[in-house]
Amino acid sequence: MLDLKFLRENPEIVKQNIRNKFQDQKLPLVDEVIALDAKSRSAKMEADRLRSERNRLSKQIGALMGQKRVDEANALKAQVPAESEHLAELEKQEEELSRRITEIMMTIPNIIDPSVPIGKDDSENVEIERFGEPAVPDFEVPYHTDIMERFHGIDLDSARRVAGNGFYYLMGDIARLHSAVISYARDFMIDRGFTYCVPPFMIRSNVVTGVMSFAEMDAMMYKIEGEDLYLIGTSEHSMIGKFIDTILPEETLPQTLTSYSPCFRKEKGAHGLEERGVYRIHQFEKQEMIVVCKPEESRVWFDRLWQNTVDLFRSLDIPVRTLECCSGDLADLKVKSIDVEAWSPRQKKYFEVGSCSNLGDAQARRLKIRVRGEHGNYLPHTLNNTVVAPPRMLIAFLENNLNADGSVRVPEALRPYMGGKALLTP
């Protein structure tokens, strides 16, 4: 969420940012919020004047009563009900205006970083760099669920009967591989200085609206019926929420945390063949990383975060590339975002396995996270990045480490988590 003062003083910058994100339908909101803000400030000034006048009258009445000038005191008392009624009206008006202003400000997109390429949607994202040589073997690479089934490692039919589409049972070596990847990712991030955390898997609505836009919330989150609780779609939400309504001593920054959690997502809409199996599902597990830091340090941390994901995938012999998200592909709270994509030998192209985002001070402003600095309090910046989400990681892992005979290589880094196995055999 933007600073209202910034919007008031820079309406054209905010409007151009909206155009850059191809959300022209939101342009009238800028003028609307400025007009509402002017009304709100006017109502507040009048309310403050009336409160001051009420206090003055109260003191004057007390003084007159002390002097036994009862008639004069009663004459002043007669003014109080009318002013109190007007004050109550103004306070109600202030509350309504404040609510509407907040509603609008929550939908106006954050100012994107100048380095972000301007584009309408993800088709205009820009490749930045490739890591590792993408290879296509001289044998046919089966669809990922076919590879898993050769190991008796997945049961989609039973999951469909138990929970419906978008769920799965993982079995045997494939299930062990899933857990191994999560454990390896945990230790990988701990070795890089991050503090390990297992967060709550449900969060309240004020945390949800603090970390994401209403559109994202509707598309992603499962609501717990009858309670003010939502299942998390990613652990970064509860990890950033950890700092809600807090004032952090500056010397405790940066806060660098890595978290494990299950994730639950609606995943609305129809999906193509390549997004079936375990690619796009309602429940999965994930290792995440988040940073809360000084504003001037967020760009450095942004580059460190996505590099962590690249390094982890390369340690497992999976070629990857980084892709800069264009303006139209950025969620409203994001300042800048880079996707990490893994190579698929079967599809002969890259696919998304993680996303790194800098959200500036937007989440901190919504969640009232502040830092106590030498020269007063200020808002920190927040960042998040996927370490690894095994369902998609499993696709990349199996395809890139598959042998012609159907066996799967286990890279050296993962062997301690697989009981020392160097090869998985169907």
Domains of the chain, each with CATH number or no CATH: 4-105 (1.10.287.40), 122-424 (3.30.930.10)
User: For residue 119, which amino acid is it?
Assistant: G
Q: Are 337 and 309 in contact (CB under 8 A)?
A: no
Assessment of whether the complete model's pTM goes beyond 0.85: yes
What pLDDT does 218 receive?
A: 76
Angle at 283 between CA 219 and CA 268, to 5 degrees: 25
Distance of CA 183 to the CA centre of its chain: 23
- Gap between the Cα atoms of 193 and 94, Å rounded: 47
Looking up tokens 């079967």, which residue turns up? Answer: 346
- Gap between the Cα atoms of 360 and 384, Å rounded: 11
Instruction: Please tell me the total number of residues recorded for the chain in this structure.
Output: 426
Residues with a known catalytic role = 265, 280, 352, 355, 392
**Helical axes 298-315 vs 172-191, angle rounded to 10°:** 140
HSE, side-chain direction, 13 A CA sphere, residue 268? 8
Q: Which residues are bridge partners to 342 per DSSP?
A: 320, 351
Residue 120: how many other CB atoms lie within 10 Å: 12
Q: DSSP character for 244?
A: T
What pLDDT does 273 receive?
A: 52
What pLDDT does 73 receive?
A: 67
User: For residue 183, which amino acid is it?
Assistant: S
Preceding amide of 199 cis, omega within 30 = no
Alpha-carbon radius of gyration of the chain = 28
Q: Are 90 and 42 in contact (CB under 8 A)?
A: no
Closest CA to 105 of 3, 214, 237, 216: 3
- Nearest 5°: phi and psi at 213? -80, 160
- Gap between the Cα atoms of 202 and 262, Å rounded: 10
Tens place of pLDDT per residue across the chain (426 aa): 899 999 999 999 999 999 999 999 999 999 999 999 999 999 988 888 877 777 777 777 777 777 778 777 677 776 666 677 787 888 888 899 999 999 999 999 999 999 999 999 999 999 999 999 999 999 999 999 999 999 999 999 999 999 998 899 999 999 999 999 999 999 999 999 999 999 999 999 999 999 987 777 777 899 999 999 999 999 999 999 999 999 999 999 999 999 999 999 997 654 555 556 788 889 999 999 999 999 999 999 999 999 999 999 999 999 999 999 999 999 999 999 999 999 999 999 999 999 999 999 999 999 999 999 999 999 999 999 999 998 899 999 999 999 999 999 999 999 999 999 999 999
What pLDDT does 65 receive?
A: 76
DSSP string of 309-352, one letter each residue: HHHHHHHTT--EEEEEPPGGGS-TT-SEEEEEEEEETTTTEEEE
Q: Which residues are bridge partners to 53 per DSSP?
A: none
Please return the burial class of 113, using the count of CB atoms within 10 Å of its CB with bins 0-12, 13-18 and 19+. Answer: middle
